[in-house]
Amino acid sequence: MASSNRQQELTVKPVGFVRNQCKEPILFSQRSGLEMQGAVEDFWQKVREINQMTSEIVIDPAAGDLLNGIDDFSHLLVLYWGHKTSAAGRALQQVHPMGRKDLPLKGVFATCSPARPNPLLMTVVKLQARRDNVLEVANLDAVDQSPVLDIKPYVKDMFPQEGVRTAAWMQKLMEEAKAMAG
């Protein structure tokens, strides 16, 4: 790239962390690529468990005013750090989606792989309750102790509904998810 300034490392500082019962990621990265923990059926079982699990997002009490008014939204976008992603995982440029060899090798930016150059992971969660600096949420796919970097309100109108095209392999995965994760 022309300007070295653009390649400069940037520093983020967690504003909080995740507290839940999910101790290990269901996808993990190795030098050889992305791997799924267990069989495909076990994977979807894990996804179902995650979908039913409640997580807490604990925000630094000194930064509690960041949350003022957040209760007026039913859903939030949570940006967290994939702290279980290895250096080898961050160096991968292509992966089999979900570590599944039956799916074609794809560029990491065409996938939701947690192994990516900057493991900035994002999920839409449902806000169930707020107790001061603690948010109780459903549907957060983060592992326990994941550093939380940012929270944004989920505003449906900002996400296109019409004319959205998705890769065939992703459609297949979404159909599997509907059928198996319930």
* Cβ 66 to a second copy shortest distance, Å: 5
Picking from 145, 150, 137, the residue whose alpha carbon sits closest to that of residue 63 is 150
Of 39 and 153, which has the nearer Cβ to a second copy? 153
* Cβ 63 to a second copy shortest distance, Å: 6
Of 37 and 93, which has the nearer Cβ to a second copy? 93
* Cβ 15 to a second copy shortest distance, Å: 5
Of 39 and 101, which has the nearer Cβ to a second copy? 101
Q: Is the dihedral of CA 154, 155, 161, 163 positive or negative?
A: negative
* Cβ 43 to a second copy shortest distance, Å: 17
Q: How many Cα neighbours within 13 Å face the side chain of 40?
A: 10
Helix (H) or strand (E) holding 172: helix 168-181
Of 13 and 39, which has the nearer Cβ to a second copy? 13
